[in-house]
Homo-oligomer: A and B are copies of this chain.
């Protein structure tokens, strides 16, 4: 059932770093994005893949982790992502992704979950640093980075906190809690 995949597809931020992914898996995930719909069928998204220790380190250095966890700078060595997909907008094709980036990321991450993997989308990226490190041409706008790996944390959905707080949090055992709005709040009529 798709719902099982959707439920398992949480934002994971700690991984079994030594569980390696190969580039062929990343290509298969990008293929799911390729086969998904695109606004006006323009297909302006491009991808850089990384499953390599050195390149992974360069990408990791450009990411801002978990804005709501102020005490946490991101996963320690040994719990970092095993791979990344950097999603770019090719300005030679379109100046806007419309909503293609969300569609593509959702296809990629659902595909990852189906393979027993998991990941996290990053909008909080030091883009100038990443552009320099990966030598990305100005023609391409960096839209987001998807971190991937074998998840090493438990993520639980819970009701909203007091006064409707949506901030995620962790308990002492490291379980990550994500407050979700109830369905009736989302449906206006």
Interface residues of A (CB under 8 A from B): 1-3, 5-7, 9-11, 27, 30-37, 39-43, 45-49, 67-68, 88, 97-107, 109-111, 114, 121, 123, 140, 143-144, 157, 166-168, 178-181, 183, 186-189
CA distance A181 to B30 in the complex (A): 12
A99 touches B144 (CB 8 A): yes
User: What's the minimum C-beta distance from A151 to chain B, rounded to whole angstroms?
Assistant: 14
User: What's the minimum C-beta distance from A89 to chain B, rounded to whole angstroms?
Assistant: 11
Given contacts A178-B41, A181-B34, contact A110 B2 (CB under 8 A): yes
Not counting A43-B186, A49-B189, A106-B106, a sample of 13 additional A-B residue pairs whose C-beta atoms are within 8 angstroms of each other reads A2-B110, A3-B35, A9-B37, A31-B183, A40-B67, A41-B167, A42-B166, A48-B187, A48-B189, A98-B123, A99-B102, A101-B102, A103-B103
User: What's the minimum C-beta distance from A130 to chain B, rounded to whole angstroms?
Assistant: 13
Contacts of A168 in B (CB 8 A): 41
User: What's the minimum C-beta distance from A100 to chain B, rounded to whole angstroms?
Assistant: 6
**B31, B32, B104: the one within 8 Å of A102 (CB):** B104
Contacts of A27 in B (CB 8 A): 183, 187
A-B pairs with beta carbons under 8 Å apart, 10 shown: A1-B114, A2-B2, A3-B32, A6-B35, A33-B186, A35-B157, A35-B180, A37-B121, A49-B187, A99-B144
